[in-house]
């Protein structure tokens, strides 16, 4: 419905983006103070409240910290605590030495829960199920759900057809077709018993305790693009993360 002709974005987002890229460019390294709220308000012709809104986002992203009376500073991950190393690229590179075998091809279906988690206003989603194999050992069962608007770009991909086997990742297949790039992935990791289907696909007992990883990908407009529900065999997979300063 909405045409792509929407270059306009909130002022606070413009401000936040500018500051983010300046920070990334190293403009405020080594404890250099960022501009004050008043300065930015003048510079952008916005109110102090609007600038605060931008800073609030940057703070919750953990890239700046603020001290009353002193100012705002880019967070130096080198001084105190740790920062996470994992990135979305790491998730994409998962494919290099593993194979994706399609268990059930990409097709339209009704799934209220998946639709709700993707925050769709219909119950219709597109789903595909596959497993990943490493050294001929299947170690993970994944179900991916996509909104219709996203799925239509990959409906004809041979990698997602019945019985296909490739070294792709779904997000890697999708990325080139999306008008806005994937910007974040929210993951939650817990333990869940293998369902009968999962058990059959990864060759374990039903009810076996699995490492369950839910991933929700979104683009830089905060639109949800993909929901991936994975069951990893803990005997063959350990989730590793390095937090660095």
Question: Which residues form the interface with a second copy (CB under 8 A)?
Answer: 31, 56-57, 60-62, 65, 67, 76-77, 79-84, 86-92, 113, 116-117, 119, 175, 181-193, 209-211, 220, 234, 237-245
Does 55 contact DNA by CB under 7 A?
yes
**Residues 66/55, Cβ–Cβ less than 8 Å:** yes
Question: Which CB, 196 or 239, lies closer to a second copy?
Answer: 239
Question: Which CB, 107 or 184, lies closer to DNA?
Answer: 184
Binding site partner of 86, from DNA, a second copy, none, Cβ cut-off 5-8 A by kind: a second copy
- Nearest approach, Cβ of 191 to a second copy (angstroms)? 4
Does 20 contact DNA by CB under 7 A?
no
Does 129 contact DNA by CB under 7 A?
no
Contact pick of 7, 45, 163, 176 for DNA (by CB under 7 A): 45
Does 80 contact DNA by CB under 7 A?
no
Question: Which CB, 19 or 228, lies closer to DNA?
Answer: 19
β-pairing verdict for 209-219 and 224-232: antiparallel
Residue 117 token pair: 């988690």
Question: Any idea which residue has 């374990």 for tokens?
Answer: 204
CA distance 206 to 225: 31
Binding site partner of 205, from a second copy, DNA, none, Cβ cut-off 5-8 A by kind: none
Contacts of 141 (CB under 8 A, 6+ apart): 103, 129, 130, 131, 194, 197, 198, 201, 202, 230, 231
**Quick one: which of 111, 134, 145 has its CA closest to 230?**
145
Does 18 contact DNA by CB under 7 A?
no
β-pairing verdict for 165-166 and 137-146: unpaired
- Nearest approach, Cβ of 36 to DNA (angstroms)? 3
CA distance 142 to 81: 34
Contacts of 51 (CB under 8 A, 6+ apart): 12, 15, 37, 40, 41, 44
Binding site partner of 155, from a second copy, DNA, none, Cβ cut-off 5-8 A by kind: none
Binding site partner of 4, from a second copy, DNA, none, Cβ cut-off 5-8 A by kind: none
């Amino acid at each position: 419905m909405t045409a792509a002709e929407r270059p306009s974005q909130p002022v606070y987002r413009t401000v936040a983006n500018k500051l983010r890229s300046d920070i990334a460019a190293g403009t405020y390294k080594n404890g250099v103070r960022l501009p004050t709220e008043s300065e930015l308000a003048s510079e952008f012709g916005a109110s102090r409240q609007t600038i605060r809104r931008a800073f609030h986002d940057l703070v919750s992203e953990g890239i700046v910290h603020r001290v009353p009376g002193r100012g705002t500073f880019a967070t130096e991950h080198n001084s105190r605590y740790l920062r996470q190393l994992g990135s979305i690229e790491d998730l994409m590179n998962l494919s290099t030495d593993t194979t994706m075998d399609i268990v059930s091809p990409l097709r339209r279906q009704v799934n209220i829960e998946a639709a709700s988690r993707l925050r769709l206003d219909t119950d219709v989603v597109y789903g595909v199920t596959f497993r990943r194999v490493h050294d001929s050992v299947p170690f993970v069962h994944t179900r991916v759900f996509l909104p219709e608007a996203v799925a239509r770009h990959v409906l004809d991909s041979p990698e997602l057809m019945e019985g296909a086997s490739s070294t792709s990742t779904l997000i890697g297949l999708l990325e080139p077709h999306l008008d806005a790039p994937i910007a974040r992935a929210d993951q939650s990791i817990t333990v869940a018993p293998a369902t009968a289907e999962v058990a059959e696909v990864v060759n374990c007992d039903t009810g076996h305790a699995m490492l369950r990883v839910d991933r929700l990908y979104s683009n830089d407009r905060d639109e949800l693009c993909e929901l991936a529900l994975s069951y990893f065999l803990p005997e063959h997979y350990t989730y590793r993360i390095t937090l660095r300063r």
